[in-house]
Every structure is written in C-alpha cells, then in structure tokens.
Amino acid sequence: MKRFLKLLFLPVFILFLSACGHGDETVSPPVSNDSNIQAGVWKVSFFSDNGNDETNHFTGYEFAFNANGSATASNGGSTVNGTWKTGTDDDQAKLELNFGNTSPFDELNNDWHILNTNNTTILLEDVSGGNGGTDALTFTKI
C-alpha cells in the first residue's frame, strides 16, 4: 500500500511543481538561460530516479554553476567537481550535467530537458531511451 501511495503521489507532485510559478511572478520560457543557473547557489530539492525519490542523497549539498562550464557540489566537508552546459535537442532546451563517476552524483549525469526555469527554480526531466523510465530533477536557489 505504501508503494502504491508513493507511485500515486509522484505524478501529482510533478504536476504541482510544473504549475508553480504561474501566478504574478514572471517565469522565463524553458530556454537555455546560462545567466540564471550561474546566479547564486542551488540545492537539489527533488530527484526521482525512474519513480524512486532519491532526493535525500543530495541533502546538505550546495551546487554552484560557474561561467567557465565547471560545476561543484559541496557540503562543507567534501566537494565533487563536474561540468555543465546548456543547449537544445530537437528544439527542446537542455541542461547537460556531468559529475564523473562519484556516487550518487553520477546519477545526475545526463542531458536534462528544461521544463521550466525562473530565478529560484529549475525543473528538469529525462526520459530514458532504453527502458522508457523518467527521471525528474529540481534545483532550488538557496
């Protein structure tokens, strides 16, 4: 029953997140916006790997995306280095992340489709070509 509730909650949660920001604040269209991601420090506020909520793997980590394409995830005690870049894929804005083989950050290595972005939130999604699973990633500005 608990698993059923989790599976039921996930689509509702994703729909809720995609509806956020449609009020008075200006929301940028889902396009590559390098200056937005470079401004400030971010945290993973939601990460779902094929329907499994794995957000807790990134608790306490702060992400910085630098102008030179480097990225860091740091929790004060350790730092994981990576890279990032934006672009398009089939006219869909994307954010490409690569944190090497360091677990659990290797789970973020992907060409993420940008679903929505504003000054405080970046909503990302990846649909796997192999098994058809969907991953969801949300960065929230700290």
Q: pTM to 2 decimals?
A: 0.76
Burial code (b: 16+ CB inside 10 Å, e: under 16) for 89-127 equals eeeebbbebbbeeeebbebbbbebbbbbbbeebbbbbbe
pLDDT of the residue at 30: 44
pLDDT tens string, the chain, 142 residues long: the values are 444 434 444 444 444 444 444 443 333 334 455 788 999 999 999 999 999 999 999 999 999 999 999 999 999 999 999 999 999 988 899 999 999 999 999 999 999 999 999 999 999 999 876 677 899 999 999 9
How many whole angstroms separate alpha carbon 91 and alpha carbon 19?
22
Q: Where are the alpha helices (DSSP H) in the chain?
A: 2-19, 34-38
For 52, residues 6+ apart whose C-beta sits below 8 A from its C-beta are none
pLDDT of residue 15: 41
CA distance 98 to 9: 29
**What six digits make up the tokens of 63?**
């992400």
Helix (H/G/I), strand (E/B), else coil: 15: helix
Q: What is the rounded CA–CA span in Å between residue 120 and residue 17?
A: 13
CATH number 2.40.128.280 is the correct assignment for the domain at 2-21+30-141: yes
